[in-house]
């Protein structure tokens, strides 16, 4: 099931050629997205002249079948691309736009499909147990030490030090035991998929999101991830205050404007 949002100016009347946009939701969401975010973004992009298709993966929203998870939706994406380009054959390729594991699904699919011109990856999901623990230690616990809420709880005697210490030690153990770098590991598969895809990529990361922090932390000095994120075909934009789903109007507008500035570069 998909919803097509069309620009007011027909493709045949447009003065420039533009790609279409296929939006891929993340997690247990359907085509509207959290806070109706995908609906609002699609309308925003269409108002700027872009054709947008939002879709429900199988087993989600109004699509039948059994939910497959982001690693099993290649056929869904392929079908959506077919439908989009059949409905609007004048499009100049397609941009895959994904949030969270929708971004990861886009990465895993893009290099195998010549119809995909570019990608917008928003807070991509690259979760491992050790990576999650390292992100918590580096970003969450450090921020908590300066949180007024934490110190108010301590002063009021409402802070459970034993539980906090137990949680901290558990995170330390997980962070200190990273899995072997095998080809099956998700960050490695995403990295290889990124390397195979040769088109432009817009990477948008929220500052108040541990999923985004975990992804950003993959780019350690001298790593292949660092080379990918510093490559000329990659545009990285950090929105320091935004959370994972851009739940305020301001953050959603920042996201939309960042995307549109980049998308206009793809016009021909």
* Three-state secondary structure readout of 134-187: HHHHHHHHHHHCCCHHHHHHHHCCCCCHHHHHHHHHHHHHHHCCCCCCCCCCHH
Residue 74 and residue 200 in one domain:
yes
pTM above 0.85, yes or no: no
Using DSSP's 3-state secondary structure scheme, residue 57 falls into coil
For residues 156 and 199, membership in a common domain is answered with no
Q: Looking at the structure, tell me whether residues 154 and 55 fall in a common domain.
A: no
Same domain, 32 and 143: no
Q: What distances in angstroms separate CA 135 from CA 29, 106, 165, 210, 265, one per listed residue? A: 24, 23, 17, 6, 33
- 145 and 258 housed in the same domain: no
| Residues 188, 57 share a domain | yes
CATH number at residue 75: 3.40.50.1820
Distance CA 101, CA 104 (A): 5
Instruction: Looking at the structure, tell me whether residues 83 and 215 fall in a common domain.
Output: yes
The whole-angstrom separation of Cα 201 and Cα 197 is 9
* The pLDDT of residue 30: 75
**Shared domain check, 104 and 53:** yes
Longest dimension (CA), the chain: 68
Number of domains in the chain: 2
Residues 78 and 51 in one domain: yes
> In tens digits, what is the pLDDT along the chain, a chain of 268 residues?
789 999 987 665 565 789 999 999 987 787 887 788 999 999 999 999 999 999 988 877 667 777 778 898 999 999 999 999 999 999 999 999 999 999 999 999 999 999 999 999 999 999 876 666 566 566 555 655 565 665 565 566 665 655 555 655 555 566 556 666 655 799 999 999 999 999 999 999 999 999 999 999 999 999 999 999 999 999 999 999 999 999 999 999 999 999 999 999 987 6
pLDDT number for residue 69: 85
DSSP annotation of 90 reads T
Q: Which domain holds residue 192?
A: 2-128+182-266
User: Could you tell me if 142 and 124 lie in one domain?
Assistant: no
| Claim to verify: residue 86 and residue 144 sit in the same structural domain | no
Three-point CA angle 14, 4, 28, nearest 5°: 140
Residues 86, 110, single domain; the answer is yes
- Order the strands of the 234-243 sheet from edge to edge: 2-5, 52-55, 20-24, 94-99, 116-122, 201-208, 234-243
């Amino acid at each position: 099931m998909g919803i097509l949002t069309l620009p007011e100016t027909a493709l045949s009347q447009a003065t420039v050629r533009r790609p279409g946009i296929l939006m891929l939701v993340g997690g247990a969401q359907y085509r509207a997205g959290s806070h109706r975010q995908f609906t609002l973004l699609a309308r925003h992009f269409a108002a700027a002249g872009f054709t947008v298709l939002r879709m429900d993966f199988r087993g989600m929203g109004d699509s039948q079948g059994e939910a497959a998870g982001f690693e099993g939706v290649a056929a869904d994406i392929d079908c959506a691309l077919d439908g989009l380009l059949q409905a609007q054959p004048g499009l100049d390729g397609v941009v895959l736009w994904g949030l969270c594991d929708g971004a990861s699904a886009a990465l895993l699919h893009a290099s195998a499909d010549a119809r995909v011109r570019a990608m917008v990856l928003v807070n991509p999901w690259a979760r491992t147990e050790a990576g999650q623990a390292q992100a918590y230690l580096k970003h969450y616990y450090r921020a908590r030490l300066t949180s007024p809420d934490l110190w108010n709880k301590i002063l009021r005697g409402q802070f459970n030090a034993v539980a906090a210490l137990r949680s901290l030690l558990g995170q330390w153990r997980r962070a200190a035991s990273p899995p072997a770098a095998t080809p099956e590991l998700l960050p490695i598969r995403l990295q290889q998929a990124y390397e195979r895809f040769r088109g432009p990529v817009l990477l948008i990361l929220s500052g108040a999101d541990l999923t985004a922090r975990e992804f950003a932390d993959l780019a350690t000095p001298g790593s292949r991830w660092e080379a990918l994120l510093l490559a000329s075909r990659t545009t990285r934009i950090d929105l320091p205050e935004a959370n994972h789903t851009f739940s305020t109007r301001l953050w959603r507008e920042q996201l939309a404007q960042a995307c549109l500035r980049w998308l206009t570069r793809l016009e021909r």
